Amino acid sequence: MLLLVGIALLVLPGPGVVVILAGIAVLSLEFEWAERLVTRIRAVIASVTSRWKRR
């Protein structure tokens, strides 16, 4: 449900990406594919923040 709301918020005013990420985080509690996706997203976020801190 959160994913559907997040997708709708991509075209409507609201934090669509944040809601989609929250939906994937909830799904990761039950599904392996979602857990792998969350792991990749965390790695990308860590990489971006480390590059940002080096500036």
Confidence of residue 2 (pLDDT cuts 50, 70, 90): confident
**Can you say whether the dihedral through the CA atoms of 10, 12, 13, 18 is positive or negative?**
negative
When pLDDT is cut at 50, 70 and 90, the band that residue 9 belongs to is: confident
Does residue 32 contact residue 52 with C-beta atoms inside 8 Å?
no
- Tell me whether residue 38 is exposed, middle or buried, using C-beta atoms within 10 angstroms of its C-beta: 0 to 12, 13 to 18, 19 or more: middle
- Per-residue pLDDT of 21-40, as tens digits, reads 999 999 999 999 999 999 99
Q: What is the mean pLDDT of residues 1-28?
A: 88
Q: Mean of the pLDDT values across residues 40-55?
A: 93
When computed from its CA atoms, the radius of gyration of the chain, rounded to whole angstroms, is 13
